[in-house]
Amino acid sequence: MSEYLAVAAADELQPAQMKRISVGGKRLLLCNSAGTLYCVDEMCSHEDYSLYLGCIQDGKIKCSLHGSYFDLTTGQPTCDPADVPLCTYPVMVDAGRVWVKA
Protein backbone atom coordinates (compact mmCIF):
# COMPACT_ATOMS: atom_id res chain seq x y z
CA MET A 1 0.00 0.00 0.00
CA SER A 2 2.97 2.31 0.23
CA GLU A 3 2.58 3.24 -3.46
CA TYR A 4 -1.10 4.10 -3.01
CA LEU A 5 -2.37 7.45 -1.73
CA ALA A 6 -5.66 8.00 0.09
CA VAL A 7 -7.84 10.32 -2.00
CA ALA A 8 -11.39 10.05 -0.63
CA ALA A 9 -13.68 8.47 1.92
CA ALA A 10 -15.07 5.13 0.74
CA ASP A 11 -18.65 6.46 0.78
CA GLU A 12 -17.89 9.94 -0.58
CA LEU A 13 -19.03 9.41 -4.18
CA GLN A 14 -22.48 8.26 -5.20
CA PRO A 15 -23.04 6.49 -8.55
CA ALA A 16 -22.45 8.80 -11.54
CA GLN A 17 -20.41 11.23 -9.42
CA MET A 18 -16.76 12.13 -9.87
CA LYS A 19 -14.10 13.99 -7.95
CA ARG A 20 -11.00 15.85 -9.12
CA ILE A 21 -7.87 14.60 -7.39
CA SER A 22 -4.14 15.13 -7.71
CA VAL A 23 -1.77 12.20 -7.27
CA GLY A 24 1.95 12.49 -7.89
CA GLY A 25 1.44 15.80 -9.70
CA LYS A 26 -1.12 14.25 -12.08
CA ARG A 27 -4.61 15.69 -12.50
CA LEU A 28 -6.98 12.75 -12.22
CA LEU A 29 -10.67 11.96 -11.83
CA LEU A 30 -12.05 9.48 -9.34
CA CYS A 31 -15.30 8.17 -10.84
CA ASN A 32 -18.16 6.09 -9.49
CA SER A 33 -19.94 4.11 -12.18
CA ALA A 34 -22.79 1.98 -10.80
CA GLY A 35 -20.97 1.56 -7.49
CA THR A 36 -17.55 0.68 -8.95
CA LEU A 37 -14.73 3.19 -8.52
CA TYR A 38 -12.33 4.06 -11.35
CA CYS A 39 -9.51 6.56 -11.76
CA VAL A 40 -8.56 8.14 -15.10
CA ASP A 41 -6.76 11.21 -16.44
CA GLU A 42 -8.84 14.34 -15.95
CA MET A 43 -8.13 15.84 -19.35
CA CYS A 44 -9.60 14.50 -22.61
CA SER A 45 -6.98 13.01 -24.92
CA HIS A 46 -8.63 14.63 -27.96
CA GLU A 47 -8.62 18.22 -26.69
CA ASP A 48 -7.17 19.65 -23.51
CA TYR A 49 -10.60 19.81 -21.86
CA SER A 50 -11.66 18.58 -18.42
CA LEU A 51 -13.73 15.41 -18.41
CA TYR A 52 -15.08 16.62 -15.06
CA LEU A 53 -17.47 18.76 -17.11
CA GLY A 54 -18.89 15.62 -18.74
CA CYS A 55 -20.89 12.74 -17.33
CA ILE A 56 -20.62 9.05 -16.43
CA GLN A 57 -22.89 6.56 -18.21
CA ASP A 58 -22.76 2.76 -18.52
CA GLY A 59 -19.11 2.40 -17.46
CA LYS A 60 -17.95 5.28 -19.67
CA ILE A 61 -17.09 8.93 -19.20
CA LYS A 62 -18.20 11.50 -21.77
CA CYS A 63 -16.29 14.57 -22.83
CA SER A 64 -18.82 17.38 -23.05
CA LEU A 65 -16.75 19.34 -25.59
CA HIS A 66 -16.97 17.03 -28.63
CA GLY A 67 -18.96 14.04 -27.31
CA SER A 68 -16.25 11.37 -27.15
CA TYR A 69 -16.78 8.55 -24.67
CA PHE A 70 -14.00 6.64 -22.89
CA ASP A 71 -14.26 3.24 -21.23
CA LEU A 72 -13.49 3.72 -17.53
CA THR A 73 -11.90 0.27 -17.21
CA THR A 74 -9.47 0.49 -20.14
CA GLY A 75 -9.37 4.20 -20.97
CA GLN A 76 -10.07 3.35 -24.62
CA PRO A 77 -12.18 5.80 -26.61
CA THR A 78 -15.44 4.22 -27.74
CA CYS A 79 -16.40 6.77 -30.40
CA ASP A 80 -14.99 9.62 -32.48
CA PRO A 81 -13.44 12.12 -32.47
CA ALA A 82 -11.07 10.85 -29.73
CA ASP A 83 -8.68 8.11 -30.85
CA VAL A 84 -6.07 8.13 -28.05
CA PRO A 85 -6.88 6.31 -24.79
CA LEU A 86 -6.85 7.87 -21.34
CA CYS A 87 -4.46 6.53 -18.73
CA THR A 88 -6.19 4.50 -16.03
CA TYR A 89 -4.95 3.97 -12.48
CA PRO A 90 -5.47 1.19 -9.92
CA VAL A 91 -8.06 1.91 -7.23
CA MET A 92 -8.71 0.05 -4.00
CA VAL A 93 -10.91 0.57 -0.98
CA ASP A 94 -9.45 -0.21 2.43
CA ALA A 95 -10.12 0.96 5.99
CA GLY A 96 -12.96 3.23 4.85
CA ARG A 97 -10.77 5.12 2.37
CA VAL A 98 -10.28 5.08 -1.39
CA TRP A 99 -6.66 4.62 -2.45
CA VAL A 100 -5.16 5.34 -5.90
CA LYS A 101 -1.82 4.30 -7.33
CA ALA A 102 -0.50 6.72 -9.93
Residues 46, 27 contacting (CB under 8 angstroms): no
Residue 80: CATH number of its domain: 2.102.10.10
Domain that holds residue 58: 5-100
DSSP 62: E
Predicted pLDDT of residue 89: 97
Number of domains in the chain: 1
Which residues make Cβ contacts (< 8 Å) with residue 2, sequence separation at least 6? none
Report the alpha-carbon distance of residue 64 to residue 67 in Å, rounded.
5
- pTM score: 0.95
Q: Note down pLDDT in tens along the chain; length 102 residues.
A: 579 999 999 999 999 999 999 998 999 999 999 999 999 999 999 999 999 999 999 999 999 999 999 999 999 999 999 999 999 999 999 999 999 998
Backbone φ, ψ for residue 88 (5° rounding): -115, 155
Q: Report whether 67 contacts 53 (CB < 8 A).
A: no
> What is the pLDDT at residue 1?
58
Please tell me the predicted confidence (pLDDT) of residue 24: 86
